[in-house]
Amino acid sequence: MELTTVWFILIGVLWIGYFVLEGFDFGVGVLLPILGKDNTDRRIMINAIGPVWDGNEVWLLVAGGATFAAFPEWYATLFSGFYLPLLLILLALIVRGVAFEFRAKHDSDRWRRGWDQAIFWGSLLPAVLWGVAFGNIVAGVPIDAQHEYTGNLLTLLNPYALLGGLVTLGLFLLHGAVFLSLKTDGDVRTRARALALRISPVVVAVAAVFLVITQLTHGKPITWVTTALAAVALVAGVGAAFRGREGWAFAGTAVTIVLATATLFLDLWPNVMPSSTSALYSLTVTNAASSPYTLTVMTWVAAIFTPVVLAYQGWTYWVFRKRLTRTPIAQ
């Protein structure tokens, strides 16, 4: 297998890891004012993701760095063409991170409400905009012969991409609600489980429509398999939630995100950024890649350090695996 294909797969894996792990973070952040009826409830929800949210964002940093190093043409076209949406995502993530750190610095309800709003919007915007961005990447955007984006902001706000934004928002909300029902106890757990059951029919319907449209317009034979498996995983996860099997429900939503993201990357390959102007102008794993020497060095670095990072993050989740309750916080 050529190194360009290897690194395309690795970047896909990094995005899968980011969406699975940061996905429930975003879901919890958006649900903060909905499920958190008082400050204690909201502290429980924040503490549920507190030890892991910043580690989850490492997947995004590594995905961006790997794209820059392995496919510099892709990185340049993507960040120049999607400048405003990606800037909004970056600002939202910064504000969200600051909110987690500063919320408890001052004992004031008004102070906490302000930072809670920052967490909400800092989670909502990326949850929607990542779906919009990937919808555009898969569908293709206007790129000229110099591999420069020739559209504008309105070009990115097309119906298919906006539907993709609704799908990521819905999946992350469901993923976050299931995570809270798995990670907490008491009223927060009860409300999270009830919300997951209420929104699941809508999430299933919207995700099904998006994946079917994707397959009919950009699909390949192999991705019909991943699409079907994603649908089965989502339905199975929802079914587990109805039966109160929270661990299996979380596994179901996680596998759904894995397979849905894999479907998008498989539909994209061998392109990394298709051109809607002309297929001849599309960026591919070949014409957007770095030199073989660069890819070889990156492969050795990834082989050495990736297991260390995975082991550390796995250890973090294991240490903070217990359910959270009101008792220690309310005292």
**pLDDT single digits (tens) 88-135:** 999 999 999 999 888 888 888 788 888 989 999 999 999 999 999 999
Please, which residues bridge with residue 275 across strands? 141
Give the pLDDT confidence score for residue 265 in this predicted structure: 92
Q: What is the mean pLDDT of residues 35-46?
A: 87
Burial (CB count within 10 angstroms: exposed 0-12, middle 13-18, buried 19+), residue 328 = exposed
Give the pLDDT confidence score for residue 279 in this predicted structure: 84
Distances (CA, A) of 257 to 33, 113, 302: 24, 31, 24
Whether 27 shows a pLDDT value over 90: the answer reads yes
Instruction: Report the range of poorest mean pLDDT among 222-226, 255-259, 298-302.
Output: 298-302
Using DSSP's 3-state secondary structure scheme, residue 271 falls into: strand
Q: Which of 300, 291, 293 is nearest to 71 (CA)?
A: 291
Q: What is the pTM of this model?
A: 0.91
SS3 content of the chain, % helix, strand, coil (to 5): 80, 5, 15
- The predicted-structure confidence for 226-273, as pLDDT tens digits, reads as follows 999 998 999 999 899 888 888 899 999 999 999 999 999 999 888 888
- The predicted-structure confidence for 72-86, as pLDDT tens digits, reads as follows 988 888 888 888 888
- The predicted-structure confidence for 146-194, as pLDDT tens digits, reads as follows 888 888 888 888 999 999 999 999 999 999 999 999 888 888 888 999 9
- The predicted-structure confidence for 282-298, as pLDDT tens digits, reads as follows 888 888 888 888 888 88
In this structure, the number of other CB atoms found within 10 A of the CB of residue 315 comes to: 10
Mean per-residue pLDDT of the chain:
88
Q: Which two tokens stand for residue 118?
A: 């920052």
Q: How far is CA 182 from the centre of its chain?
A: 19
For the four alpha carbons of 233, 236, 241 and 242, in that order, the dihedral sign comes to: positive
Q: Is 184 in contact with 48 (CB distance < 8 Å)?
A: yes
Instruction: Report the range of poorest mean pLDDT among 10-19, 27-36, 72-81.
Output: 72-81
User: Rounded to an integer, what distance in angstroms lies between the CA atom of residue 275 and that of residue 29?
Assistant: 35
